[in-house]
Structure 1
Amino acid sequence: MVHGATRNCMRKKTLYRNIHRLLPAFEAAARQESFTLGGEEVGLSQSSVSKQIIELESRLGQPLFIRSHKRITLTSAGQRLLTAYSLATSQIVDTLDDLIQERSRGQIVLSTSTANGAFMLLPRLAEVRECFPGREIFLVTWDPQGIEPTGQVDLAFTFGKPDFPGFQTRPLFPDILTPVCSPEFLDRYGPLRELSDLQNCELLYMQAQHPSWVGWRHWLREFSLELPQNHQPMGFNNYYNTIQACLAGQGVALGWLRQLGNMLESGRLVAPLPQFLQTEDRYQLAWPADRAPEFPIEPFEEWLGRRYGGAIPGFCVDTQPAQML
């Protein structure tokens, strides 16, 4: 049984099938206000243009031109169609121009997660651009892993191996997880000297969206602690919002220190406790396996390692970490 909506769709497809072939002659004749001049522009005779416009009017069920002895003028319906066609043509031309310029500029689509982009790349965007001289960078953010799933990316900066097949990867460095908070939070609710002090704090957490993510419960269990049964932490659906709440003094977040090094260095966040975990998963560079990057990735790889793979400002590693399971 064919539903009404399906019938309407089929009827429209029949009505508009191949109608696009009639539009160039209409547009040229309307702009030139002449079937003859319009025909010369599109390489058709006056009679061919006239026949195409008659066919177009018949299929639309209304006249598009008022024909007089020496000139033609548009009806209101014709003017609406000309305006719409001109707008669509302009958009197509703009898109073609963008595509041509992207190719000539050598645009690189760089994909990463919202948190990686906000905390690691954007604060040092000038340095990122220096890694790709002569190229335009188009930064795409995609959560949770940082890889746009259609594969329409040239290079991705992600944490953990990609879930999507068809990517080659190059591992970089692990991360370090420890509680972080704002200095204002410590002044108001601190100090935090022992892990057990966390049980009396508002713990901010991000809802896990990927197996590589580590939450409070998992982190505390590595140190033989459990959240109190009646504890109700404040949750968010992305890490960027979690850290924004932490910066606002709303609680303690589990800090991925490679991401947050800029904030630790500036003093906007502090890591008050010495305990930390080091992840087994690593940050990765990834790219589609079916097409090697048309640009060297080594400068970006070296920059990431130099900027984020070494010592973390504002955090002193003076004990052995608990290793992630």
Structure 2
Amino acid sequence: MPRLPSLNALRTFEAVARLGGMERAAGELHVTQSAVSRQIRLLEEELGILLFRRVHRALVLTPKGQAPASTLRAALDLISSGVEHLAQPSERLRIHVASTFGIRWLVPRLSRFEARHPEWRIEVNLAWYNFEPKDQGYDVGITYGRSSWPDACLTPILTEQLTPVCSPDFLERHRPPRQASDFDTLQILHCQFQPPNPGDWHRWASDWSGGFFDTNRGEVFATLDLSLRAAETGRGIAMADLAMVEDDLALRRLIRPCPEAMVSGDTYHFVQPEPEHNTPIVLAFRDWLLEEAQASTIQSRTVLFASPVQA
């Protein structure tokens, strides 16, 4: 194989040929005009041919310079594409995840996994419904509650703990609820994507110490995330999973007007559609997910027994 000329010289030659002058090529390449002239001279000496000739103070390709100029752009693009491909992560993981879990729990933590494994690319697809085995287009997933997945495909991550939350501003305008009658004057916010009746508000109201109240009134939102965002604006009290509002409670975007939290029995699961395909990226993500979930559970227990508001 014959020795190839300098790639830098070839790149310079292509720029001069395309732009029609050394000054423009120097500007595109961010070098001096003399550096461009030197690269062209060295390339001509190495090839033993004249690539350009001056015509009325302009550079014109010679017949021998026209042939390589016409193909060099495509060759440089191909080299650039190849180098870019080498720089891309060698493997990707496509994750299908329940919307609120993805927005409020997974994505805020995902940078820690990416820092640990920068060689891999993560793609997150939010599911606005609980997906099933027949769904396509992902490698692993995180699902909520009950589904038709075989038990062998599911790994429990987090168990839901329900507690009411609202904004500090909302509680300044309303008395903290201590008994069932207090909720008669408060706006409660629902997520329509709840397990079959009874809903989360009904389950929590049946368990707290203040007595049962009417849980069928109030505003309804399409997702838990939307109802929590409405609560952040002071619109009312939403029912939340403690793990989904850890950051909001820590930053006091949301507070807990009642100390009670109840374990609902519903669980978030890590899903492997093909459990026999335990690739390194799948195993690493599953182990990291369980590690983060354990830390989240510990933090939720701390919040669980913390004083929610000052009376």
Summarize the alignment of residues 167-186 of structure 1 with structure 2, pairs less than 5 Å apart.
168-186=153-171
* Cα 1:209–1:173 shift into 2, 3 Å: closer
* Cα 1:211–1:287 shift into 2, 3 Å: farther
Which residue identity lines up with residue 224 of structure 2 in the other structure?
Answer: Y
SS at the partner of 1:281?
strand
Aligned 8 A contact 1:131 1:303 in 2: no
SS at the partner of 2:153?
strand
Aligned 8 A contact 1:264 1:314 in 2: no
Q: Quote the residue 2:68 is aligned against.
A: none
Which residue identity lines up with residue 192 of structure 2 in the other structure?
Answer: Q
| Counterparts of 2:122 and 2:108, CA distance in 1 | 15
| Counterparts of 1:145 and 1:242, CA distance in 2 | 18
Q: Quote the residue 1:199 is aligned against.
A: 184
| Counterparts of 2:269 and 2:113, CA distance in 1 | 16
TM-superposed CA distance for 1:288, in Å, is 0.7
Deviations 1:18-72 (A, max 9, x none): xxxxxxxxxxxxxxxxxxxxxxxxxxxxxxxxxxxxxxxxxxxxxxxxxxxxxxx
Q: Quote the residue 1:306 is aligned against.
A: 294
Identity in percent: 21
Aligned 8 A contact 2:194 2:200 in 1: no
Deviations 1:97-131 (A, max 9, x none): 9xx99996311001111101111122233113245
TM-superposed CA distance for 1:274, in Å, is 1.4
1:275 and 2:260 equivalent? yes
| Counterparts of 2:136 and 2:87, CA distance in 1 | 18
Aligned 8 A contact 1:204 1:252 in 2: yes
Structure 2: segments with no counterpart, 5+ residues: 1-81
SS at the partner of 1:123?
helix
Summarize the alignment of residues 1-325 of structure 1 with structure 2, pairs less than 5 Å apart.
105-130=90-115, 132-145=117-130, 150-164=135-149, 168-211=153-196, 214-223=199-208, 224-227=211-214, 232-289=217-274, 291-294=276-279, 295=281, 296=283, 297-312=285-300, 315-317=303-305
TM-superposed CA distance for 1:196, in Å, is 3.9
* Cα 1:101–1:213 shift into 2, 3 Å: farther
* Cα 1:121–1:199 shift into 2, 3 Å: same
SS at the partner of 2:213?
coil
TM-superposed CA distance for 1:254, in Å, is 0.5
* Cα 1:151–1:195 shift into 2, 3 Å: farther
TM-superposed CA distance for 1:275, in Å, is 1.5
* Cα 1:196–1:206 shift into 2, 3 Å: same
Instruction: Give the alignment's Cα RMSD to 1 decimal.
Output: 3.4
SS at the partner of 1:128?
helix
SS at the partner of 1:136?
strand
Q: Structure 2 length normalisation: TM-score?
A: 0.61
Aligned 8 A contact 1:192 1:273 in 2: yes
Aligned 8 A contact 1:111 1:157 in 2: yes
Aligned length: 221
Q: Structure 1 length normalisation: TM-score?
A: 0.59
SS at the partner of 2:304?
coil
Would you identify which runs of 4 or more consecutive aligned residues in structure 1 move more than 6 Å?
100-104
TM-superposed CA distance for 1:315, in Å, is 2.5
| Counterparts of 1:153 and 1:287, CA distance in 2 | 10
* Cα 1:191–1:318 shift into 2, 3 Å: closer
* Cα 1:129–1:257 shift into 2, 3 Å: same
Deviates more, 1:100-109 or 1:287-296: 100-109
| Counterparts of 1:227 and 1:107, CA distance in 2 | 48
| Counterparts of 1:159 and 1:102, CA distance in 2 | 36
TM-superposed CA distance for 1:317, in Å, is 2.6
Aligned 8 A contact 2:190 2:220 in 1: yes
* Cα 1:153–1:272 shift into 2, 3 Å: same
| Counterparts of 1:160 and 1:213, CA distance in 2 | 14
SS at the partner of 2:247?
helix
